[in-house]
Amino acid sequence: MKKSAEQLAQAIRDKKCSSVEVAQAFIAQIERVNPDINAVAQVDPQRIIEQAKQCDAALQQGQLRGALHGVPVTIKDNLLTQDIITTGGSAAFAKHKPTADATAVKRLRDAGAIILGKSNLPDFALAWETESTAYGRTNNPHDLNYTAGGSSGGEAAIIAAGGSPLGLGTDSGGSIRLPAHYCGIAGLRTSHGLIPSTGHMPPAEGCPILGVFAPFNAIGPMARSVSDLLYVLPILTGRDSIDPYAEYDALQRPQAFTLKGLRVAFYTSACGQSIDPEIEQALNKIARLLEQEGALIDAVEPPALSEARDIYCNIAGADGGEGIKALLSELHYPQIPQNLINTLKLMPKEPSVRMLLDAQLQRDFFRIKQLQFMQKYDLILCPVAAHTALPHGLSFSEPERFAQDHYLIPYSVLGWPSVVIPVGIARNHLPIGAQIIAKHRQDYCALYTAQAIERLLSTEVNAATPQIKKQ
């Protein structure tokens, strides 16, 4: 369970272990931990073992399917998986079996990956806690009384608990980053448009995300270490000639990277709000370590961060939530789940075309301010939230919501890449994450910096499987 996806792939290629043995080990771990954390569904041991046998047989014949040959992975349940039920977190889709994979999923399968199961998320990925009408509530493996975050909470929880080495998440407003912080794993919100969103649910089957949400959404890998994020990124990236926002070629991996001379904007408290002292201490330590390695650390907060939340809500919620309400009505929801009620409360009360146009203009001005700010910097280092994981049910209360908005939403509005890595454990035994943000399509700069931080912390912080604390 402690091997990375890259190490597992190498071990399978070298025939030090079989794909069947690896699959059996992860199935057994899921059976041990999932009754407590409720993170993953649609785990079919017969299907998984049969596919693993096929991988082993192919390897015996000298056929290597790709970089993930025989490696098990999990997929957030709003990404379509051919012949495996995909619910989007909604009980209304409990029998929905797609006829094709999402683009990102197909790329993993083409590289030889085996899908272990689908990870839980709130209905339609519209909450910072993971509780769905399809599968219920996901618990944080570090303490079952606490949330795993959302909306990729199931993915973060099952990876943290050792039930999966690698997974796919999605992130519009922090949905990869917050769960990674809460559960103590690594996660990458990729640059907007780097990985096609084709096969995201909703919208309709086989479509990419379109309309007002499209500028904010990103698909990204989640794992126990940055090395696996780096390993899988080339597999996932590049246009698919369907998603109109993914019109980029795959990124070129830099030949060399050094921390020496790296220009880093560093802040802990955002918009004057208070922050957990343990998080501040952990981030200050990271800044000192980077400085000792030759990075140029400037304690400065990017401008106008407080503007981002209204920009985001006024664009993404330009219809005042009527689209969500219509979808729920069409699906005959007996009642609106509390998570969606909380999300609808964030929508504009009196939406208008003028409001949307103003918000789009403000978004452009916001981007200009950040681009001007980043002329002096290569990266931003900051917290993911002002607190560690919250007890269930608190994510939408005012102080707690604002304590994460100002760290997450600005970089969704910008569409910039952001890596989250665990950098400490608080006194309450919950993980502390750090966020490393780079400019658009500079994903590798953020990843290499995160990997260097992992190396600097290797003796103090690791992704060891937590001992699940019973309620």
Residue range 59-92, pLDDT digits in tens: 999 999 999 999 999 999 999 999 999 999 999 9
Residue-averaged pLDDT of the chain: 95
Q: What percent of the chain stands above pLDDT 70?
A: 96
Partners of 436 in the β-ladder? 381, 419
Q: What are the strands, taking DSSP E only, across 1-90?
A: 40-41, 72-76
Q: Measuring CA to CA, which residue among 365, 357, 404 is closest to residue 384?
A: 404
Q: Measuring CA to CA, which residue among 59, 68, 169 is closest to residue 118?
A: 169
**Mean per-residue pLDDT, 317-331:** 91
Tokens 């007996």 label which residue?
334
DSSP string for 336-395: --HHHHHHHHTS-SS--HHHHHHHHHHHHHHHHHHHHHGGG-SEEEEES-SSSPPBTT-T
The DSSP secondary-structure symbol of 11 reads: H
Amino acid (one-letter) located at 324: I
Domains in the chain (CATH in brackets) are: 5-456 (3.90.1300.10)
**Mean per-residue pLDDT, 21-41:** 98
Q: Is the backbone of residue 196 left (phi > 0), alpha (psi -120 to 50) or beta?
A: beta
**Mean per-residue pLDDT, 344-362:** 94
8 A C-beta contact, residue 19 and residue 70: yes
Amino acid (one-letter) located at 185: I
Q: pLDDT band for 210, please (50, 70, 90 cuts).
A: confident
Q: Is the backbone of residue 197 left (phi > 0), alpha (psi -120 to 50) or beta?
A: alpha
Q: What is the per-residue pLDDT for 464?
A: 55
Taking the CB of residue 261, how many other CB atoms lie within 10 A of it? 9
Please confirm whether the linkage preceding 151 is cis (ω < 30° from 0): yes
Partners of 188 in the β-ladder? 419
Q: Measuring CA to CA, which residue among 209, 150, 208 is closest to residue 181?
A: 150
Catalogue the active-site residues: 76, 151, 175
